[in-house]
Chains A and B, each alone.
Chain A
Amino acid sequence: MILTKIIKKLALATLSCAMIGATQAAENVGFVYVSPIGDAGWTYQHDLGRLQLEKETGVTTSFVENVAEGPDAERVIREMAKRGDKVIFATSFGFMNYALKVSKSFPKTAFVHATGYKLGKNMGLVNARFYEGRYLTGVIAGEMTKSNVLGYVAAFPIPEVLQGINAFIQGARSVNPKAELRVIWVNSWFDPGKERQAALTLLSQNSDVITHHTDSTAVVQAAEDQGKYAFGYHSDMSKYGPKAHLTAATHHWGDYYVNTVKAVQAGNWKPGSVWGGYAEGMVKLAPLNKAIPGELQDRIRKMEAQLKAGTLHPFAGPVVDQSGKTVVAAGQNMTDDQLNQMNYYLQGVVSKIPN
């Protein structure tokens, strides 16, 4: 029995050692991550931002990784606030209510929540216009496909994921009206086995350029094995598929973190909602693969400049949904409200949306 207890304690210790290790010293900017940092992916990109923040402002930071989106999150956030962190970044949707709750008990601390929708008196919001990067990958896909069938492995049908899918097909059809997109929902953010299986399924059903909105690199690796093309997401995933990886739609939080912390230090920070894209440097493409013809590379570079300047909008009208209904009239752009409530596929997606 004693040994049972020891083993249980050991198990608990392995679970929590990351937390203890990271939170011992008192520092002044705290980061809460939903998953391990790893080598690519959502949390990895946030951590790059954290490192940039340390380098550019000289503040000390600390982080807790692998925090479940539940009561644990509140405990971690409260702990950071209690020990005196000046700014706390909660980087996952499910931390929203916990961060908000803790922010009320610590009015002097600045809280920032990523990808949510609840603003507080001292809690700001940040999100990135991932769909801008998706649009560009769509353009590349539309030009590179030979079968005119594209594939997409997706996690859950929430607006953020649908924005990506729809921007991808909009981009593809802007250069190749024959392109169609097939979507497979795996109903999991993270299951490399299933993601790979879904990718192989798409590839065996004629797709020759695929991408994903899940958290592992399995889709890129599957495309590499099959000699087809793929795009990474979140991070540059080229080392997982040097031939297959055309580019990746990546996120960059560093500048935002630096600006926020500087504003807090200067005493003029106001909790607001930031939804940044190319213009703010929060969305970028990873280096383009040599397989992309030079002419197309030039066009992509031009479109990047247009996105930066705000003259190109991925959902510029006319935007037509799958059923043929016009959702954005010619001459207009989709509004942020419409983007946030997206719950349909656009023309060109041949799968049916799960409802």
Chain B
Amino acid sequence: MDTLSAILFATIVAGTPLIIVALGQLIAEKSGVLNLGAEGMMAMGAIAGFAITHHSGSPWLGVLAGMAAGALMSFLFAIVVLTLMGNQVATGLALSILGVGLSAFIGKPYESEILPTIGPIRIPLLADIPIIGDPLFNQQALVYLSWLLFAAIAWFLYRSRPGLVLRALGESPTSAHSIGYPVIRIRYLATLFGGAMAGVGGAFLSVFYTPLWVEGMVAGRGWIAIALVVFATWRPLRVIVGAYLFGGVMVAQLFVQGSGLGVNIPSQFLSALPYLATIIVLVIISRDQNTVRLNAPVSLGQPYRPEA
């Protein structure tokens, strides 16, 4: 594998958990629910995925378990903010802390366990294309799934009727309610979906990416995913661009350091570069104030109590 191909390959792997989590959050936020608990939901997804894969031997059961764990966490969140009208920001932060702490508690016995590494799935013919063949078509199954997820969400949001309802809800829950849509129920579903995807992203980390479980292994990726949604101005394609850009710059700086070329850039700066580059690029592509306003869900973070 030549260097360019290796960088691309690693970029796609590094971007995948961010894409899955951010797309899930995007759906929740489009309905008007801001869940800052992604880090905690990912951590729970990671330990659930790891534990179930360890006991069952099946990574797919693990991913399902991660999905369930993330959804369960977001269900807690939904009860507090949707039924009890709790503050979304505070509850999300609490969920984050709870998830990270609880996963550490549950995960204690699994710290010494290891999982076999899961090989990539090679797509015949396509994987033989020079340079891009290997990075794009000889990947972990979840990488392909993240693309399917993107396609499904893009279609759902902009081409389907339920997607339209979801977006309308995020703009004006009162109007949606007044024409007969069950605002709270739809928000529950959107929040659960966001949690489930965060769980899958966590399970990807612990089952596929670095097959191990240690406390704190999510290492801030949940927060990056949340920030990505905002900087991508709630557009799925930009989420993908941002996630790969972030992954790509991180991987590229590792390659620069490891090349032995002796490029004299402080490594602290190189480590900050993925954040900088992602923010700058996304700010530039989303600089048009009107589109930002059009895409940002107006009711984001606000509790909604349906009138009788």
Contact = CB atoms under 8 A, between A and B. Distances in A.
Contact of B251 (A36, A197, A350, A354): A197
B111 interface: yes
B267 A3 contact: no
Given A7-B80, A7-B95, A14 B216 contact: no
B209 A193 contact: yes
Given A205-B259, A355-B266, A1 B86 contact: yes
A156 to B, nearest CB: 9
A204 B271 contact: no
Given A8-B94, A192-B217, A182 B251 contact: no
A39 B112 contact: yes
Given A3-B84, A192-B217, A352 B114 contact: no
Interface in B1-47: 1, 3, 6, 10, 14
A14 B212 contact: no
A192 B259 contact: no
A194 B219 CA distance: 9
Contacts of A202: 258
Interface stretch (A48-56, A133-141, A183-191, A284-292): A183-191
Contacts of B91: 4, 7
Contacts of B220: 191
B254 A198 contact: yes
A201 B260 contact: no
Contact of A352 (B6, B254, B264): B264
A185 B267 contact: yes
A38 B110 CA distance: 9
A347 B205 CA distance: 37
Interface residues of A, number: 55
Contact of A216 (B84, B114, B212): B212
Contact of B254 (A4, A17, A191, A197): A197
Contact of B94 (A11, A36, A207): A11
Contact of B90 (A8, A225, A239, A350): A8
A81 B211 CA distance: 41
Interface string B54-92: 000000000000000000000010011000111100110
A352 B256 CA distance: 11
The interface centre, meaning the residue of A10, A14, A221 with most chain B CB atoms within 10 A of its CB, is A14
Interface centre among B1, B6, B87, B205 (most CB of A within 10 A): B6
A195 B95 CA distance: 27
A239 B114 contact: yes
A4 B94 CA distance: 8
Contacts, number: 152
Given A185-B271, A197-B10, A354-B268, A221 B212 contact: yes
Contact of B114 (A36, A151, A221): A221
Contact of A182 (B94, B217, B258): B258
Given A201-B10, A216-B214, A221-B212, A7 B258 contact: no
A182 B221 CA distance: 27
A115 to B, nearest CB: 21
B308 interface: no
A303 interface: no
A184 B90 CA distance: 38
A14 B258 contact: no
B219 A190 contact: yes
Interface string A327-338: 000000000000
Contacts of B85: 1
B295 interface: no
A259 interface: no
B105 A197 contact: no
Contact of A354 (B221, B254, B267): B267
A270 to B, nearest CB: 38
Given A11-B94, A204-B1, A240-B114, A193 B257 contact: no
B255 interface: yes
B149 interface: no
A185 B266 CA distance: 10
B24 to A, nearest CB: 19
A201 B258 contact: yes
B229 interface: no
Nearest to B108: A36
B217 to A, nearest CB: 5
A25 interface: no
A187 B250 contact: no
A218 interface: yes
B303 to A, nearest CB: 11
A340 interface: no
Contacts of B80: 3-4, 7
A157 B10 CA distance: 25
Contacts of B86: 1, 3-4
A351 B262 contact: yes
A10 B98 contact: yes
A11 B212 CA distance: 24
Nearest to B271: A187
B296 interface: no
Contacts of A351: 257-258, 260, 262
Contacts of B131: none
A128 B298 CA distance: 58
Given A39-B111, A205-B255, 15 more contacts: A1-B85, A3-B79, A4-B84, A15-B101, A38-B214, A183-B257, A193-B14, A193-B210, A198-B254, A201-B6, A201-B254, A218-B212, A240-B114, A351-B262, A354-B265
| The 6 nearest A-B residue pairs measured at CB | A14-B101, A185-B267, A350-B260, A39-B112, A354-B267, A4-B86
21 contacts: A4-B90, A7-B98, A8-B90, A14-B105, A38-B111, A182-B258, A184-B257, A188-B271, A192-B210, A192-B212, A192-B217, A193-B221, A198-B258, A201-B251, A205-B258, A205-B260, A207-B258, A218-B210, A351-B260, A352-B264, A354-B265
